[in-house]
Structures are given as structure tokens and as C-alpha cells.
Amino acid sequence: MNAPVRIFASLPAAETDDKDKQQGLEVTCLNKPVREVQVTGVAEVSCPADRAWLLVSVTSTKDSTNEVTNSISRRLEYIFQTIRQHGVSEEYTTVRRNVRRHAETYTMDVEILVTFSEFKKMEHMCCVLLEKLDKSVQVGTPRFFHSAACLSELRLRASVSAVENAQQKASKIAQLLGESLGATLLVREEETKEWRNEEEATGCVTTSHTMLSYLTSGGCRLPFYLFAMVLPLVSPHTLNRNQHQEHDHKERPKLLLVSFDGFRWDYIYRVPTPNFRSIMDEGVKVEFVENIYITKTYPNHYSMVTGLYAETHGVVANEMYDPALNLSFSMETDSVYNSRWWEQAVPLWVTVQKDGGRSGAAMWPGSDVLIHGVFPTRYLQYNASVSFEARVRRIIEWFSAPEGEAVDFGILYWEEPDESGHNLGPQSPLMDAIIAGIDEKLGFLLDELKKAGLYQKVNLVVTSDHGMAQLSPEKIIELDQYVDRDLYTWVDKSPVVGILPKEGKLDEVYAMLADANPNMVAYRKDDIPEHFHYQHNVRIMPILLEAKEGWTIMQNRTGLFMLGNHGYNNTLRDMQPVFVARGPAFRQNYIKASMRSVDLYPLMCHILAIQPLPNNGSLLNVRDLLSSEPTTSAPASAHSTPPPKVSRYSYAPVVGSFIGVVMVLGFLVVYVILVTLKQRPALKHRSWEMSQPLLQEDLHL
């Protein structure tokens, strides 16, 4: 497939006697020539999903808030009682409530997300709820997935099978070369890939029959393509080099990226924040961080891990419409798990894993989505009810794992102070306690790093996606006063709104909105300023409305109003996030005037010692944040052993290398032919996606 798993194995040519075995590998290599054979082992395993999400939605509309609350409460009480009766504890249940006003009525929506591990109980609970409750209660389609433990077990099974297959092939090759096969010297897993059954991908589970069909058909399958690889007929020095490579892998630098959603740049000065201050004293701080346009959560979080502007990475807003796919995206729905929204770019955790490293993600937007066939090595499925402390403990656990299992790159996300900023407004005195609480949570993270012995090893970056602006009920722009709703579709929300006019109505709608309100600017897509980097993507609508800071765009005043918001022009100071960092890679007690958020990606790649993909950032812009010492340097030992000498007149390496190359090419040709034939039906379907370039021509890299 497109993302095979690679396992490297080095095999000695001949069995050694007992004395040699007792003296160890290095003595064996010095006494006898070593023949290394490149072989290919392939394994594929499958098993049913062991987890499922079920979304239960309740809606009620009444004349007063008390009435709507009482109406919802009775049904919620029955739903929660039913959930508990089916053995689901509170920690596997997430509840979200929303109240909105329409004219003289109030509507309350409640969503309950339940995680099941016993599917028969889930099926039975669905039947009970549908039978006992009215149409105001909607039971959604179950979404099946594998737990992290299940994926780990599948990966192990596939690896073992692939190594066995590789050994069988290696035996035949050794026989061909007239040698006996020794023990495996090195096995290393490179990549894994997961995909769902086609039946599950093309249909929805709407009845118990299709649900059971899904479960018995195998759920999800994990294919693993495993390769054992070294050069044939090499000197003992090659083995030493392999050992040095393994040592380098163990010494790979560590990096943890933390995002506190909506943490404005000046919050650290508003109340005492001793833990932010300690990072500044021991590391670096950037005063002005220019994030990307638009200053919304999903676009900016994806820019941090790709180094790309929104028009290039494709996540252009929190709510999107793609006319090429004829699909809509909302951060409030399961559409976020559709890989096609994310695959116009490659996030950093995918690059780390393709480079042989390991990643861990705790609730970072998009990290629980299968992107280019890859999940993070370790990750938590998004669940807002999971505490910050629980997320931190899991991240620390991943960094503290044994050698060969510990993650190299971690990302951690927390929803505050964004949620409180929306509800209270950033100018509210109540925000002081929220900000102080965030600093305490940061202190908890620092303490846990110290307890685990990671404080001096892990490079820590603490930042945010955007700031927050204060709103006022007197500053509302009502679109219904200027244009008929039947002429357009509303995409995304204030303060930057995408307008999709009905067919043939573009000029008419734009004329109505162009000078509608002095506190709102209307752009045709082609006229959006170039410095926004927000033109060249089909998901950007034909008309873009941008409110001035502090103003809110609504269709009318019956919609939900917030006291704080973000999304405005990214040059506004209130939209800027915080940025502090510390660790072995960073300078100490250093303040930098400014940077761009897209510069963070090449900076992280440099710290992790991996090659960045094409991006809009620049390492030169942020190189002064780094300490003068190389992040991966290791002093040479005064007593290091020089590599053993190899006779310059030995023809064995030349002949063996030639034979090995011919065999490798043969295996490669067969493999490419098989993969091409297997993928042929999909190539035509994917031609449109493949034709879109990664970067636009006008981007300055």
C-alpha cells in the first residue's frame, strides 16, 4: 500500500561454534566474514473493532428556560439511568448542552456521547431508547474503532508474522548463496497502516442486522508491510554502524508541544503566573506571534503542525464546505473524522513516524484522525470530559516508556481559557481566576516532568492558537437587513463568514453586501488581500465577510450571542497568542520580538532532527531562539575504537554487493507490479486529488 511498515534485519552468513557464541557478536564478526541479506516479509492481520461511540441527541422547545430545562431533564434522567443499567460508567460518557433563543421560544439541545466496549449492550440500549422515547430523542449511527491496546496487539502480531516470512525467504537466499543462515541481528518496525472494510466505509450502520454484519465481517483490518534490509557481503564495520544507528535513534531529541486554546499574549501579565514566568526565565519568550488568517481553532492548530497557511493545508475554518467533494465539515460533528479534510497536508506526527520516530497526541485537533493512513503512535480519542491532569499523566507515561517504545514528539491540547473567554468575555474580572488556573495546570505539567526525570530532557513549547476580543450586544451586524436568505448559504460563523451564493446570484449578492455596513468588509474571493494567504482553495467561499474587531455578524439577533470571540484579522493585537519555551535546545532568559506561527514547524523539525516537508515557515526567522549547542551532539569518546581494517583487494564485497543489488531489484519490480495492479481501480478515482499541488506558486518558502 502507500504507507508500508518497514522492518530492518541483519543476518550473519554462517552458524558459529559454541565458543564464538559465548564470546558475543563482535568476536564472531571479527573471526568470520559476515554476509548480510536483504529480504522482504509481508504480513496482514485483521480483527473486529473493540470500541464504539454512540451519540444520543435530545431537543426540546418551550416558551421559557424553566420549561425547556424541566422537559429535557426528565428525558435525560431516563437516558442516564438506561446507560448506567447497561454497565457504562460516567467516565465513558460526555455531555454537551446548548440553549438558544428563537423569537419568543427557547430551544435546548443536549448531546450525549457514550463509549461502548460491549456491542450487544449498545444494540440493546439503542432498542430501549428508540422504543421508550419520542422523536425528540435521536439515536445516532454507532462509530466503531480500535482501542490503543488493540492496535498495539495487532501491530505485534503483524510484526511477528512478517519477520517469520522474512526468515523463510532469507533461508532460501542463504541456500542460493551456498551459506547457512545465522540468527537475526536487527529488527526494527518503521510504519503501520490501518484501513476499514469497504462495506463499512460505504454504508451506515442503521439496523441491528447491518451492525452485526459489520462486527462479524472483521471491523477494521491492519495491513503491515515489513521489510528486512541491509547490504550483502559487508565487513564487520557495517554491524558497528548499524549499532551506532540504533544508538542515534535512542538519543533522538524529545519535544512536547502544548496548546492552551484562546490564551491571549497578555494574559500572563494580567495576574501572577509564576509557572509561565519560570519557563521564560529558563528559556525563551516571543512577544508578538502572528498566527494565520483566519484566527480560528482548527486552521491554526493544523498550521502549527504543518507549517502551512490555511489555503494550502486545506483546513480553512471550523465550519467548511467543499464543492469538489460536495461535503460539509463541522467541528461539532463526526465529519472531523473524514480523512479527506486533512490530507491536503502532512502533519508533523506522520513525518516523525516515517522518519523512524514515535509520537503521542493528547486531544490535539485532528490527531485522532487517520491521515495518509497513519495515526500517531500513541493517541487519545478526543473527549472534552477528560481532565487536563489525566491528559498530562498519559503524555508523561508515553515519554517515560522503555527504550524503543517512548515517544519522541508529543502534543497536548486543553480547551481553556477559550471556552470561558467566549462565555464571559476577556475583559470580565472572572477571567482572572481562569488564567490563574491555567498557570496552575502548567505548574502541574512541570512538576510531573520533574518527577519523571524528563524536565531536563524534554524540550517544552507552550503556546496557543489565537487570542480573544471583547464583544458587545450593541455591535451586531444583521445580514437579514441587507440580503434575502434564499439567495445564499451561510458557511462558518462570525467574525469571518463564508457566503456561498445560489447559482447565478454571485454578483447580486455581492452588490447587496459590498457597502452594507461600515463595520464589515465584503471581499470577492479573488480580491482577498494576498497577505492573508486565503485565496487558493476550493473550500474558501466566493464571498468573504470580515467584521471589524468587537463586531459580530449574525443573520438576526435570535442567534446565539457570545461575549468574547476570535477569528478576526490576524494582525490585530488581541488575536495574538502566547509563546514560551524551554529545554536543552533553547536559549535561557531570552525574549524575541516577533515570529510567525508557521515558523514553529521548521523549528520543531530542527529540534527533532528530521527533514521538514515543504512549508511556509522559515527556520532563519526563529534560529535565534535556539541555544548555540547542537541538539543532537554527543562528544566523541577519547577511547573510541577505530573501525576494523578491510582489505582493499578483497573481491567478495564487490561480487556479493552485485548479487544483492540484482536480487533487491527483482524483489522491488515484483512488488511494484503487484501494488500497481492492486491499486489500479483506485487511481482514476484519486486523479483529481493527486493533481492538486502541495504549495501554490505564489507562496514564499
Q: Are 581 and 459 in contact (CB under 8 A)?
A: yes
Cβ atoms of 40 and 166 within 8 Å: the answer is: yes
Q: What b/e string do you get for 410-438 counting C-beta neighbours within 10 Å, with b at 16 or more?
A: bbbbbebbbebbbebbbeeeebeebbeeb
For 286, residues 6+ apart whose C-beta sits below 8 A from its C-beta are 579, 580, 591, 592, 593, 594, 595, 625
Catalytic site residue from 192, 297, 351, 377: 297
CA distance 209 to 123: 10
Is residue 618 within 8 Å of residue 698, measured between CB atoms? Answer: no
| 584 closest CA partner among 463, 464, 454, 462 | 454
For residue 343, give every residue at least 6 positions away whose Cβ sits within 8 Å of its Cβ, in sequence order, or none. Answer: 314, 371, 372, 689
- Asked if 64 and 57 touch (Cβ cutoff 8 Å), the reply is no
The span from the CA of 354 to the CA of 448, in Å, is 29
DSSP state of 117: S
| Dihedral angle computed from the Cα positions of residues 588, 594, 596 and 600, in that order, rounded to the nearest 10 degrees | 0
Backbone torsion region of residue 26, taken as left when φ is above 0, otherwise alpha when ψ lies between -120 and 50, otherwise beta? alpha
Return d(Cα 661, Cα 650) in angstroms, integer.
18
Which triple of cell numbers denotes residue 675? 501494488
Beta strands in 48-151 (DSSP E): 51-62, 93-102, 105-116, 137-139, 143-145
Let me know if 16 is a catalytic residue: no
Contacts of 300 (CB under 8 A, 6+ apart): 291, 292, 465, 466, 597
For residue 371, the 8-state DSSP code is B
Please give the DSSP secondary-structure letter assigned to residue 134: -
Contact partners, residue 666, CB within 8 Å, separation at least 6 = none
Beta bridge partners of 39: 228
- The distance in angstroms from the start CA to the end CA of the chain is 31
The total number of residues shown for the chain amounts to 701
Kindly give the residue spans of alpha helices, DSSP state H, lying in 177-253: 198-202, 208-216, 236-250
Q: What cell was used for 154?
A: 495487532
363: left (phi over 0), alpha (psi -120 to 50) or beta: left
| Structure letter (DSSP) for residue 452 | T
Q: Beginning with the edge strand found earlier in the chain, give each strand of the sheet holding 195-196 in spatial order.
A: 39-47, 220-228, 195-196
Q: Would you name the residues annotated as active-site residues?
A: 297
